[in-house]
Structure 1
Amino acid sequence: MLKTILSVSGKPGLYRLLSQGKNTLIVESLQTKQRIPILPKDRVVSLGDISMFTDTEDIALSEVLKRVHEKQNGTAFPDEVLKDNETLRTLFAEILPSYDRERVYTSDIKKLFTWYNILSGAGITNFEEEATADN
């Protein structure tokens, strides 16, 4: 599921990949449902390709989002939490105790929690990777 959800540098929010042309991607905002073209000059990252640093090995974003979903019981983070750096770090340490405190910045945690709010608001709560669905 996360392979088709994209983050586009310079554009707020998350986007669902709808189609792919020769030189463009057509995406739809998960928040506004507006469709826009993404050009080759835009930096695009699939959420399925992102991982978080831990003290041992990197952990896939899908696994982190699953843990966030369990911790939050499917509810979004309040805005107050997203504004307080100390609360962000404390809450993230409860979700992923082994995260690398030197390489994971507060801005990364805030982005993760914001993305979680966007995904859950769009009804996306299955963060399983496609490869694990074969079992």
Structure 2
Amino acid sequence: MEYSDIASVAGKGGLFKIVKPTRTGVILESLDDKKQKLVASATQRISVLSDISIYTTDQEGSRPLEDVFRQINKEFNGDLGVTPTSEPDELKAFIKHIIPDYDPQRVYVSDIKKVINWYNALKQNAPELLEEKPEEKEEKKEKPAKGTKKEKPE
């Protein structure tokens, strides 16, 4: 499973696995143990996790949610010390610890609560997504294009 396979639906709590597209929308399945199916129409706001990022004040302007989740897992390994019901100041301190240059003007407490909820959901149902990516070693050894021959050294 990849971050591009998981979505959030506005007005619906939790995260959903994208099962398959339909003519009028997409079929989703909840990530929790209930595995409820939902047909989301094109009129509903669906956000794929791979497309979500957190605003920052650095040159790039944002940080992908995937990187944020991996950083949280690396720093806290599942024991966050905060919950979505924690005080707003605690939540802001938590996100500042993870992303020191986050933009407090554009990242709301409700956004931080979603990050915590989604992290917990992924930790329970798709922990492999939170692991550090193995460093991509060397690009695959360059292969000659089809139809070309390698030159032999003389």
The code of the aligned residue for 1:2 comes to: Y
Name the one with the larger helix percent.
1
- Deviation sequence 1:3-30 (CA, Å, 0-9, x none): 1100001111100001111112111001
Pairing partner for 1:62 from 62, 66, 86: 66
1:66-109 CA deviation, whole Å, 9 max, x = no partner?
Answer: 11111221x1546x632221111111111111111111111111
Distance in 2 between residues matched to 1:105 and 1:34, nearest whole Å: 29
Are the counterparts in 1 of residues 123 and 130 from structure 2 also a CA contact under 8 Å?
no
Give the aligned residue type for 1:71: E
Any stretches of 5+ residues in structure 2 without a counterpart? 140-154
1:5/1:15 contact within 8 Å kept: yes
- Mapped to 1, the partners of 2:47 and 2:107 lie a distance apart of 18
Q: Which residue of 2 aligns with 1:15?
A: 16
Q: Which of 1 and 2 has greater Rg?
A: 2
Q: Secondary structure at the match of 1:25?
A: strand
2:114 corresponds to = 111
- Unpaired segments of 5 or more residues in structure 1? none
Aligned residues: CA RMSD:
2.2
Q: Tell me the TM-score normalized by structure 1.
A: 0.87
SS in 2 for 1:102: coil
Residues 5-84 of structure 1 aligned to structure 2 (within 5 Å):
5-31=6-32, 32-56=34-58, 57=60, 58-73=62-77, 75=78, 77=80, 81-83=83-85, 84=87
**Which secondary structure does the structure 2 equivalent of 1:7 belong to?**
strand
Give the whole-Å Cα distance in 1 for the aligned partners of 2:130 and 2:51.
13
Aligned length: 131
The CA deviation at 1:127 is 4.5
